[in-house]
Structure 1
């Protein structure tokens, strides 16, 4: 709606992950570097954690697109409290291995045959497990056993674990000591720093062709940081509401007063962080 009023090619502040809008703030760049390091190692697990909305899925989307021209087959698995047997079937399905009516031993054999074939073809396999904090202990152990599939000491499957901060607690629990020992890199995605919010917002606007309409009062950016905790998805929510308000009222400038209105609405809906505005803001 507002993108038409302001002449933008697309909506810049959608809440769903879209790696086309990727902004490499400091925490994001660090996590990406860790993943690149792990890929070069071609073994074990890499763990990326962060609060909801901090960009974990966007990071993976960018990574998978970068891998499109390399000899790596990547499968993305979103977990919702899977047990070991269900996890194995999901992994098989993600890599195109048929699992209907097949027992566990046969399914493992089929996965092993596929990974060995890819190895002969100089192709690597990467499994990305999203929302991994919901995995059971048995499912996590099943993942570890999959990394035991090797040829000449070279693992044929590498696994990236993405999840909320609870994933770190899961990995550090005594039953998963062997998984913990196979973590080759780990990074925690923080929100944006206060001095990164303006660049983030402007970047997303420039991707869709923003040329200064609406004009934006720079004093709004510290306020957006305060009431979003620097979480990109919350920043998007605030900015989307700001642009919607501007378009509905047919205005071509966004002010501090607009932020006051939007934040009050979002806090009434329990969708914004922070306390109420002070008189100094």
Structure 2
């Protein structure tokens, strides 16, 4: 709805990773260079870790978009809790090799598949922090596959949350760790980068400076998101919705703060969630009044939003 109101070609803060909207922060640019360096070596592992929503998947989407399909064949596995044999089967399927038979048969089939065509083969394993030791060891065995001339047949990129780094530091994975050629940990954007990130995403969909985001509003976005891109996207999308509903073209820190509070309340993490299960008749009268005032203000705001949505719905229906 806010796309039409503000004249955007598409949603600027969509949650789905989009390489076209990649923002080259200092951290993401360094992570990209680590990936490119690792791929230039033609063997081993490259590891990229970061908090949920830090931009790991978007980074790899950008990498894949830049790789020449005639030179690279890229397969991807998104894992949760996958046993070693299941992971081997997934890898075989990703490269078009038969999945049936004994482990030795499947490994041989994968090796044969990796020697077809002129491309170098890359396997990207997402959410790798969920893999047990045995599955990670299976990946190490896959990385050892070589061709007739002794050339390595497969490179592996591991993407995961911070606990992946702790897992890889285990003495049980010493052999795998020795095959890691490059590793990088993505952190949140700085306050300045958060300002630039929001404007970058807006310009990509046709933003011309309106609606205007006050600097203090973007400071609030950074404070509530810790600079994590997915959190920024979620908050800014809701701010745009609130702005369209209130028909405002200037976004203030107050608007961001109230929207962030509503997001927390929706997830049960804010004041409303904290008040759940409490007896409003207990405690200090001033505190009770403050809580009731907060709830009444929230209800009034929601009523305004619902009213505006109803008006917009009726307008669209009348146009139809």
What's the secondary structure of 1:52's corresponding residue?
A: coil
- Note the C-alpha offset of 1:223: 1.2
Look up the match of 1:279: none
Residue 141 of structure 2 corresponds to 145
Find out whether 1:132 has 2:128 as its counterpart. yes
Query: Cα distance, 1:213 vs. partner?
Result: 2.1
Distance 1:238 1:272, change over 3 A: farther
Structure 2 CA distance for aligned equivalents of residues 29 and 204 of structure 1 = 17
Cα 1:272–1:246 change in 2 (3 A) is farther
Structure 1 residue matching 2:47: 3-state secondary structure? strand
Q: Distance in 1 between matches of 2:181 and 2:207?
A: 41
Moved more, 263-272 or 125-134: 263-272
Task: Give the equivalent residue in structure 2 for 1:98.
Answer: 98
- Is 1:181 matched up with 2:178? yes
**Equivalent in the alignment of 1:29:** 29
What is the distance in 1 between the residues matched to 2:175 and 2:70?
A: 30
TM superposition shift of 1:26: 0.7
* Counterpart selection for 1:255 from 241, 245, 252: 252
The residue that corresponds to 1:41 in the other structure is: 41
Distance 1:148-1:17 versus aligned 2 partners, 3 A rule: same
Alignment partner of 1:108 is 2:107: yes
- Find 1:240's aligned residue among 221, 227, 237: 237
TM-superposed CA distance for 1:214, in Å, is 1.1
* SS at structure 2 position matched to 1:11: coil
Q: Does residue 264 of the first structure (1) align with residue 265 of the second (2)?
A: no
Deviations 1:105-124 (A, max 9, x none): 22111111111233xx3x10
Higher Cα radius of gyration:
2
The normalised TM-score by structure 2 is 0.81
- Unaligned residue ranges in structure 1 (runs of 5+): 274-281
Separation in 2, partners of 1:264, 1:185: 40
Structure 1 residues 59 and 267: alpha-carbon distance in aligned structure 2, compared to 1, 3 A threshold = same
Per-residue CA deviations over 1:150-192 (Å, capped at 9, x if unaligned) read: 1344211000000000001111111111000100000000110
Residue 226 of structure 1 is matched in structure 2 by 223
Structure 1 match to 2:157: 160
Aligned partner of 1:88 in structure 2 is 88
- The Cα of 1:212 is off from its aligned counterpart by 2.0
* CA RMSD, 1 decimal: 1.5
Cα pair 1:234 1:272 within 8 Å, conserved? no
1:224 shift after superposition: 1.0
Q: Is the 8 A contact 1:49 1:189 kept in 2?
A: yes
- What TM-score does the superposition give when structure 1 sets the normalisation length? 0.92
Aligned to 2:183, the other structure's residue is in SS state strand
SS at match of 1:162: strand
Specify the alignment match of 1:4 in structure 2. 4
Q: Decide whether the 8 Å contact of 2:96 with 2:113 is kept in 1.
A: no
Q: Residues 271 and 166 of structure 1: is their aligned pair in 2 closer, same or farther, counting only changes over 3 Å?
A: farther
Q: Which residue of the partner structure matches residue 276 of structure 1?
A: none
User: Hey, what's the Cα distance between the residues in 2 that align with 1:12 and 1:97?
Assistant: 39
Distance in 1 between the 2:233 and 2:187 partners?
16
| Contact kept in structure 1, 2:114 and 2:153, CA below 8 Å | yes
Distance change in 2, residues 1:216/1:3 (3 Å) = same
Q: Secondary structure at the match of 1:139?
A: helix
CA distance in 2, matches of 1:272, 1:128: 35
